[in-house]
């Protein structure tokens, strides 16, 4: 016998069932927030991704997956180092991340420089599917512009004339409120003031006082995660809801309704997912999710994680699990039709989902769809040259 296999190597060969010609597992690098205001979002994404893999029998394209994890803390300053932990130290084949737009820009640059395939399961930074767009970068989520643009049209149609926006002062908030402003003003409205506070601060009171003084017809907001819980409670407690209706991108109330309770009832939001879609695809997803994670309800983040795995599967199936065939794998990812719980979608040339945006209303603690705010909405991909 020429080769003496170590115990570990024998075990690996047996697990893979390839009788000694074992190919290494595909290395997946999760760069997600596991702490801070977006911690629950990161966990939901990982849960969704792993659920899809589990539904395929624990493998994609016949290959085992090996997971590597980094907590990016939603801290853009640590973005480059955290990305390189996965790329240069762990040598991952595929990057999956992240939630925060500022961190995602650092991750996208590192992915581009190292020619690593990246699937973004949340962060909407417009620049990533704009000037930074690249053949190795895909989104299973949205661009920040999309839900904001969808809601601006709704607000204009409702006849509101003067709006104030309020958000965190970073890419996601700025781009979401700019998207709202674009379609609201196209529809005849005017955004009279754009208010912001630093991420992830939650001292909303001075800005709520300013809104009360400005007396707009309506407020549009982007907040998410822990900050969104506090904002909805503060807006309600301030009494403003009685005089100034609050509109938002659906992140305000997704995954946060249990904590917001009555303060969220009746809020209108726009998002590419909703509760109670009652399609066979979504019902199956939700039943599987409830079985796998009985303590948490599925939300938009879980769906985005699940669909990140579906996009990857489309690529891996096309190359029979051979991740070294990057061009063929990426072409298949780019051309795939994704059978998402949200409804099927395809990616734009820039790699961003072209999808419907639901108008949702919070009813009895659920984000129920009450119509479509924007059908087949594509991000304009301004500045993308692909």
**Residues in the site for ligand PHB, rule: CB under 6 A?**
38, 99-101, 122-125, 144, 172, 224, 251
Phi, psi at residue 63, to the nearest 5°? -105, 140
The nearest distance, CB 37 to ligand PHB, in angstroms, is: 9
Nearer to ligand PHB, 167 or 369 (CB): 167
Q: Least separation, in Å, of the C-beta of 225 and ligand PHB? A: 6
Q: Which is nearer to ligand PHB, 63 or 256 (CB)?
A: 256
Distance (Å, whole) CA 107 – CA 120: 9
Tell me whether residue 63 or residue 249 sits nearer to ligand PHB (CB atom): 249
Burial classification of residue 179, based on how many CB atoms lie within 10 Å of its CB (0-12 exposed, 13-18 middle, 19 or more buried)? buried
Residue 43 or 63: the one with the smaller Cβ distance to ligand PHB is 43
Taking the complex as a whole, the smallest distance from the CB of residue 56 to ligand PHB amounts, in Å, to 27
DSSP 8-state symbol, 362: E
Q: Smallest gap, in angstroms, from Cβ of residue 64 to ligand PHB?
A: 31
Which DSSP string do the residues of 172-207 spell out, in sequence order? HHHHHHHHHHHHHHHTT-EEEEEEEE-TT----HHH
d(CA 93, CA 100): 22
Distance from C-alpha of 247 to C-alpha of 205, rounded to nearest angstrom = 18
Residue 351 CB, shortest distance to ligand PHB, in Å, is 15
Contact 119, 308 (CB under 8 A): yes
Taking the least distance from each CB to ligand PHB, the nearer of 155 and 224 is: 224
Residue nearest to ligand PHB (CB): 224
**Shorter beta-carbon distance to ligand PHB: residue 102 or 341:** 102
- Nearest distance in Å: CB 38, ligand PHB: 6
Burial readout 268-302 (b: 16 or more C-beta within 10 A, e: otherwise)? bbbbbbbbebeeeebeebbebbeeebeebbbbbbb
Query: Is 67 in contact with 250 (CB distance < 8 Å)?
Result: no
At 216 the three-state DSSP class reads coil
Residue closer to ligand PHB (CB basis): 92 or 252: 252
- CA dist 123 and 100 (Å) reads 5
**Rounded-to-integer distance, Cα 252 and Cα 226, Å:** 10
Q: How far is the CB of 144 from ligand PHB (least distance, A)?
A: 6
Nearer to ligand PHB, 189 or 225 (CB): 225
CA atoms lying within 13 Å on the CB side of residue 37: 19
User: Considering the complex, what minimum distance in angstroms separates the CB of residue 122 from ligand PHB?
Assistant: 6
| Contact between residue 161 and residue 188 where contact means Cβ atoms under 8 Å apart | yes
């Amino acid at each position: 016998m020429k080769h003496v296999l170590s115990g570990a190597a024998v075990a690996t060969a047996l697990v893979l069932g390839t009788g000694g010609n074992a190919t290494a597992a595909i290395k997946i690098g999760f760069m997600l927030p596991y702490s801070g205001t977006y911690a629950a979002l990161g966990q939901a994404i990982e849960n969704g991704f792993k659920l899809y893999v589990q539904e395929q029998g624990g493998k994609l394209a016949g290959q085992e997956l090996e997971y590597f994890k980094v907590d990016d803390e939603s801290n853009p300053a640590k973005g480059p180092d955290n990305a390189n932990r996965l790329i240069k130290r762990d040598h991952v084949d595929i990057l999956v991340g992240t939630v925060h737009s500022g961190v995602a820009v650092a991750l996208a640059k590192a992915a581009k420089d190292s020619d690593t395939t990246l699937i973004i399961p949340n962060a909407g930074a417009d620049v990533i599917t704009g000037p930074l767009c690249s053949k190795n970068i895909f989104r299973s989520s949205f661009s920040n512009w999309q839900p904001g643009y969808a809601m601006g049209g709704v607000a204009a149609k409702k006849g509101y004339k003067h709006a104030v926006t309020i958000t965190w002062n970073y890419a996601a908030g700025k781009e979401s409120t700019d998207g709202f402003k674009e379609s609201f003003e196209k529809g005849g409205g005017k955004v009279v003031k754009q208010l912001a506070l630093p991420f992830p601060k939650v001292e909303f009171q001075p800005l709520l006082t300013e809104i009360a003084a400005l007396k707009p017809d309506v407020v549009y907001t982007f907040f998410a995660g822990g900050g969104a819980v506090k904002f909805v409670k503060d807006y309600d407690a301030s009494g403003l809801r009685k005089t100034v209706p609050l509109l938002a991108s659906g992140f305000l109330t997704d995954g946060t309704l249990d904590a917001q309770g009555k303060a969220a009832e009746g809020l209108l939001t726009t998002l590419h997912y909703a509760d109670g879609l009652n399609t066979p695809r979504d019902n199956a997803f939700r039943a599987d999710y409830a079985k796998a994670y009985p303590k948490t309800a599925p939300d938009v983040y879980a769906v985005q994680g699940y669909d990140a795995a579906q996009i990857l599967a489309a690529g891996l199936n096309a190359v029979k699990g051979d991740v070294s065939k990057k061009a063929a794998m990426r072409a298949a990812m780019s051309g795939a039709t994704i059978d998402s719980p949200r409804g099927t979608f395809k990616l734009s040339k820039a790699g961003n989902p072209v999808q419907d945006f639901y108008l949702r209303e919070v009813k009895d603690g659920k984000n129920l769809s009450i119509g479509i705010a924007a059908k087949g909405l594509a991000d304009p991909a301004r500045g993308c040259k692909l």
